[in-house]
Structure formats: structure tokens, C-alpha cells
């Protein structure tokens, strides 16, 4: 990106971060006094800040990104009060992603050229793909990641995204670490382990960064950028792989049954946290759900306590507790030999219709020697 554009956008990023942190500090102080400050009050505070001599520099950039960051802060507090997220944290100049969001009143898009408000000219953009014909972006987000790469994201309605033709195909999907996905058809998709492939390079770059003096030295910035680029490479490969898998599953199946895993709790296991994070199960589910909504497919999540691995998919007998190192087992009742993961995928597929009809998870029960019912609990798979 040209130096002038980079400087103008960096100035906007700095103002956005400053406003976010000021608003968060004001709301935190009010929270300590048992008071609540909403978006309208922080918007009034922004107007007052711009009139002061100390913060007059906020008026050097478009006011729209500043207002948008206040809306993002309001959304963060809404999620916090709904217990969906932690308390909002202050943005860091070094660690936080730098971004600015422009609504339709704060940018001009003509003939494939994008000009944000208070910019000297159109941005020099290398388009990854053209916008759908006849569409006009409603929101533009300009950002820069830790690796120094610039991105422009345009939000618009795509008339080419229409529901696919209905089909009777359905599939159960069991996620794991040895194999990323196991389908009820018997197909197993290997786990690429993107982070493990670059672990040596990443460790070397992190050791180099650790030896640098703290602060804003040139060598320190270069070392941080090298680490960020390796992380970006890992993230990009992982995202690309998941996009291809989820698109394929959505195109081939009308109904996709998965397990409702609590990844947030599972990564608390120190032995598995790194492998689970690299597998990105939550990102896989998120992609699957929004693509299914786009194309008229259905994703069904079966209760996480459903004993999919221990339940015989042939006769329905529930086996005793099964160690994670047991990958194949034989049913004591019908004598069927199961692959643990394929059996789990088949059980998920069978349980899916009941979940869809009842709107709740499915928990088959077994009888204990004492006559009381008990439920087998699903445990995370160990990385081999």
C-alpha cells in the first residue's frame, strides 16, 4: 500500500482505538459506581471529547468509524450482560487488530474504486474477486493484521446465493484429532495439523523475539512481524481447508448432523488444548451453519452427552466405559465390530431426526445394577 494511504489509515486506526478505550474507561468507572452508560451517552461523550483541546485530533478523521467503534463496544457489553462473553478489554496498540468500519455515508464506491471519507484519494486495492453485478456495498471495513497485511472487506447482498436443489442425502459427522472428520459413510478426512507443520519455525521466531529488548525498537518490531506472519500462514491454511470441507458437505447433503461440543471447556485440558485449537472445531461448525443457512440446508447438533462412541449402531446396546485408546470394539450383544469414529458418526446420523423433531438433545439411557438410569458422558478424544 502507498505510504500516504497507509499513514492516513493508520491515523484513523489510532483514533478508533483511542475512542474505544476512552469509552470503555468511562463505562467501567460508571459500572464501579453501579451505573450503566449506554451507546447514546458514549456518543455524547465523543462529541464533548472532540471539542476539548486535548482530544481535538479526533476530528482529523471521519466521525463514522469513531461512532461504529462505540456501537461495537455496546455489542460487547450486551454480550457480557447476556453472559455470552467476558468483560470487554482495552485495545492494545501492539496486539489488537487494527480496523475501521465505514457505513454507506462515509465512503464512495464508483467504477470499482473505493474512497473512504477524509482520504486523499481512492484506495489502491487488488481485488480478490469482483462484486456481484448490480450490488452496492453497505459497509466497508479496512483492517491490518499483525503481519502487516492490509484488507478491505465489503458487505453487500449477493443475489447469486440461492438455496440449492433439495436432496434426500444426510450425513453424520464426528470430529476428532487423529482424523479431523469421520463421516457416517465411512470416509475419514485426515487432520492436516497446520500448526504442527510450522511449529519448529514458529518456536525459532518466538525465541528470537524473546531475546529482543522490550519496547518499540526496530529489531523488536521486525521479530514480532516474523512471528505474526507465521501465525497468519497457519491461520490462512486452516481457514482455506475448512472452507473447502464445509462447502463440500453443504453441497452434497441436505441434512448434516454434528455433536454439540463445548470447545471452550475442552481446551482447559492442557494435554489436548493445542491440538483442539489447531483442529478449529468451533470454526468448522460456524462455517457449516452459516453456509447451510445460505443454501437451504439443515445442521442438527446432538447433545454433547449423547454416548455416540459407546452405543452400538447395529443393536443399540450401550457398552461400558470405553478408554480413549480403544479405536475398535466388538459389541457384546450382537457381535458387530465397530470402528469407534465411524460408529459415532452413524449414531449421530440416527439421532439427528429425533433432535430436529423434539428440538432438544438426545440422551439414551442405560440401567445400572441398582436399577437406576445413568447417562454415559462423552469425553474428548486424545491426540495420538
Active-site residues, by number, are 174, 259, 341
Write phi, then psi, for 122 (nearest 5 degrees). Answer: -65, 150
How far is Cα 308 from Cα 325, in angstroms, rounded to an integer?
16
Alpha-carbon dihedral angle through residues 127, 128, 134, 140, given to the nearest 10 degrees:
-70
How far is Cα 247 from Cα 252, in angstroms, rounded to an integer?
9
The C-alpha cell at 204 is 525459532
The C-alpha cell at 159 is 443475489
Residue 292, classified by CB atoms within 10 Å of its CB into exposed (0-12), middle (13-18) or buried (19+), is buried
Judge contact between 324 and 379, C-beta under 8 A: yes
The C-alpha cell at 149 is 497485511
The C-alpha cell at 15 is 483514533
The C-alpha cell at 217 is 525498537
How far is Cα 225 from Cα 227, in angstroms, rounded to an integer?
5
H or E stretch at 98: strand 98-103
Amino acid at each position: 500500500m502507498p505510504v500516504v494511504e497507509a499513514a492516513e489509515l493508520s491515523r484513523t486506526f489510532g483514533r478508533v482505538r483511542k475512542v474505544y478505550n476512552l469509552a470503555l474507561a468511562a463505562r467501567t468507572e460508571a459500572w464501579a459506581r453501579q451505573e450503566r452508560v449506554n451507546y447514546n451517552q458514549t456518543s455524547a461523550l465523543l462529541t464533548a471529547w472532540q471539542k476539548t483541546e486535548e482530544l481535538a485530533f479526533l476530528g482529523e478523521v471521519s466521525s463514522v468509524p469513531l461512532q461504529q467503534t462505540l456501537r461495537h463496544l455496546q455489542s460487547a457489553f450486551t454480550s457480557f450482560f447476556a453472559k455470552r462473553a467476558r468483560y470487554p478489554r482495552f485495545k492494545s496498540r501492539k496486539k489488537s487488530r487494527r480496523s475501521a468500519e465505514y457505513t454507506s455515508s462515509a465512503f464512495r464506491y464508483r467504477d470499482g474504486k473505493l474512497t473512504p471519507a477524509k482520504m486523499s484519494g481512492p484506495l489502491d486495492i487488488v481485488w480478490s474477486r469482483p462484486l456481484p453485478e448490480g450490488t452496492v456495498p453497505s459497509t466497508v471495513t479496512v483492517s491490518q493484521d499483525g503481519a502487516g497485511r492490509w484488507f478491505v472487506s465489503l458487505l453487500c447482498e449477493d443475489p447469486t446465493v440461492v438455496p440449492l436443489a433439495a436432496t434426500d442425502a444426510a450425513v453424520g459427522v464426528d470430529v476428532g484429532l487423529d482424523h479431523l472428520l469421520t463421516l457416517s459413510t465411512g470416509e475419514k478426512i485426515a487432520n492436516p495439523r497446520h500448526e504442527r507443520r510450522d511449529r519448529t519455525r514458529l518456536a525459532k521466531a518466538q525465541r528470537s523475539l524473546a531475546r529482543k529488548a522490550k519496547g518499540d525498537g526496530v529489531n523488536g518490531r521486525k521479530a514480532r512481524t516474523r512471528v505474526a506472519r507465521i501465525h497468519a500462514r497457519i491461520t490462512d491454511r486452516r481457514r482455506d481447508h475448512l472452507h473447502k470441507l464445509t462447502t463440500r458437505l453443504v453441497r452434497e447433503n441436505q441434512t448434516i448432523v454434528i455433536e454439540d461440543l463445548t470447545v471452550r471447556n475442552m481446551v482447559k485440558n492442557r494435554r489436548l488444548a493445542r491440538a483442539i485449537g489447531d483442529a478449529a472445531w468451533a470454526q468448522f461448525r460456524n462455517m457449516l451453519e452459516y453456509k447451510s443457512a445460505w443454501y437451504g440446508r439443515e445442521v442438527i447438533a446432538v447433545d454433547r452427552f449423547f454416548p455416540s462412541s459407546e452405543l452400538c449402531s447395529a443393536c443399540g446396546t450401550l457398552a461400558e466405559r470405553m478408554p480413549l485408546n480403544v479405536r475398535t470394539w466388538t459389541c457384546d450383544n450382537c457381535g458387530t465390530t465397530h470402528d469407534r469414529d465411524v460408529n459415532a458418526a452413524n449414531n449421530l446420523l440416527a439421532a439427528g431426526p429425533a433432535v430436529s423433531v423434539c428440538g432438544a438433545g438426545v440422551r439414551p439411557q442405560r440401567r445400572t445394577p441398582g436399577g437406576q438410569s445413568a447417562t454415559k458422558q462423552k469425553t474428548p478424544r486424545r491426540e495420538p
